[in-house]
Amino acid sequence: MEKTLSRGFGGPLQYVQGPGEIKNLAKYTANCGRNVLAIIDAFLYQSISAKLEESFQDTDSRLMCMAGEGECSWKEINRVIDASKEFQPEVIVGIGGGKTMDTAKMVAEQLSLPKIICPTSASSDAPTSALSVMYSDEGEHLGSIMLKKHAEMVLLDTDIIISAPPRLFISGMGDALATYFEAHAILDSDTPNHIGAGYKPTRLAIAIADLCYDILLEKGEFALACVKQGILTSAVEDVIEANTLLSGLGFENTGCVTAHGIHSGLTILPQTASFLHGEKVAFGIVVELVLENRSKEEIDKIMKFMVRVGLPVTLEQFHVEPTEENIEAIAAKSLKSNLVSLEPFEVNMKNLVAAIKGANILGKTYLEAMKP
């Protein structure tokens, strides 16, 4: 992207997070339109659609609920648009995980409609961004599409989020942890961010990335222990905010680099399809630590945190054998994503392959050293 001296910052118009907030959805959509199309994760469709239908009773709004099906692909986007034509939606609501939310964003974009995004887990920073990550029908990462505008609102019901599997919360911490390292790489390389045509990151964006990192390292382990017991503490609310709002604003207003580039690379191997976005990004953080030659003290702190909370730090944890062929396939796909090229130094096949190999050795070392 072309370098610029201008600074830019963007985000959703409103962000609301708290227990029981899904019951207020009708009140929030009323500000956007009367005919509400809700696209809901298939896994949660029955329970969420029942709650919505109850909350929309005795209102002036009309509600149509649809279950999301699989990847955020053009096939899925067009399926939703075709099925909702007769209903004539005026506002789109995306409820669920990253792929369902990204599908809802793309449907709203194609129909030029306002959107409200409601994540049902704190598993990624996708909710706050004005982009959708596109996949093939088979699950291969194809790239991201920048949208014309952010959501009118991001709405989190933390009662729902606390009931999601802890693995999703852990994955969100992996995605959020990358924000700090990638933000500073973007700052050092003077790379434009993801706002509009791309601007220099504001100081606020860097401060958000730093705060996200601080919250995770300070409260992440305790918050996870609470989540595993189904307890909604202030620490859990803090980490939900870090995983969703801070990480989202942080990455979009700075950028993604090696950690997310390696995520893209891992998707080339079919055995990684069952793993979550933040889990793949977590291994990408290890690669970035090696590639950037971070200090022993910083590596030790981050690696111990990731192992303690259960984030994957080796290829074997993705059922990937660290063969030359597999590592070169990951590196080639990562280089194709162009994210690793945003480091403040040259990244090529040779040093990226070496970093992946080194990261796998590093991960094994810490897993072995920290065995109970």
CATH number of the domain to which 27 belongs: 3.40.50.1970
pLDDT at 2: 65
Total domains in the chain come to 2
Boundary of a domain, candidates 162, 184, 208: 162
pLDDT of residue 1: 54
With a CB cutoff of 8 Å and minimum separation 6, the contacts of 102 are: 72, 94, 126, 132, 133, 134
What pLDDT sits at residue 63?
Answer: 97
Domain co-membership, 266 together with 147? no
pTM recorded for the entire structure: 0.93
Say which CATH number the domain at 192 has.
Answer: 1.20.1090.10
The first and second tokens of residue 212, run together, are 């996200």
Clarify whether residues 107 and 179 are in a common domain.
no
Domain-located, residue 211 = yes
Same domain, 153 and 187: no
Residues 170 and 141 grouped into a single domain: no
DSSP letters, 129-187, are: -SEEEEE-TT--EEEEEE-SS--SEEEEEHHHHHTS-HHHHHHHHHHHHHHHHHHHHHH
- 118 and 179 part of one domain: no
Does 130 share its domain with 193? no
Same domain (yes/no): 305, 182:
yes
Question: 80 and 57 in contact (C-beta within 8 Å)?
Answer: no
| Closest of 278, 283, 249 to residue 131, by C-alpha | 249
Is 2 among the domain residues? no
pLDDT at 263: 97
Domain extent, residue 62, equals 8-162
223 and 345 within one domain: yes
Could you tell me the two tokens for 274?
A: 């069952």
List phi, psi (to 5°) of 40.
-120, 140
Q: Are residues 181 and 193 in the same domain?
A: yes
**Is 332 part of any domain?**
yes
3-state DSSP assignment of residue 198 = coil
User: In the prediction, which pLDDT does 137 show?
Assistant: 85
What is the distance between the alpha carbons of residues 180 and 166, in angstroms, rounded to a whole number? 23
Please report where in the chains the tokens 């692909």 appear, as a residue. Answer: 73
* Helix (H), strand (E) at residue 203: helix 203-228
pLDDT tens for each residue of the chain, 372 residues long: 567 889 999 999 999 999 999 999 999 999 999 999 999 999 899 999 999 999 999 999 999 999 998 789 999 999 999 999 999 999 999 999 888 999 999 999 999 999 999 999 999 888 999 989 898 888 887 888 999 999 999 999 999 999 999 999 999 999 999 999 999 999 999 999 999 889 999 999 999 999 999 999 999 999 999 999 999 999 999 999 999 999 999 999 999 999 999 999 999 999 999 999 999 999 999 999 999 999 999 999 999 999 999 999 999 999 999 999 999 999 999 999 889 999 999 999 999 999 999 999 999 999 999 998
Residues acting as catalytic residues: 175, 260, 263, 277
The region, left, alpha or beta by phi > 0 then psi within -120 to 50, assigned to residue 17 is: beta
Q: Is residue 68 part of a domain?
A: yes
Q: Which of 126, 141, 162 is the last residue of a domain?
A: 162
Would you say residue 1 lies in a domain? no
The amino acid occupying position 336 is K
Tokens representing 43 are 């896994």
Domain boundary (119, 147, 162) is at: 162
Region label for 20, one of left (φ > 0), alpha (ψ between -120 and 50) or beta (otherwise)? left
CA distance 303 to 11: 31
Query: Are 334 and 360 within one domain?
Result: yes
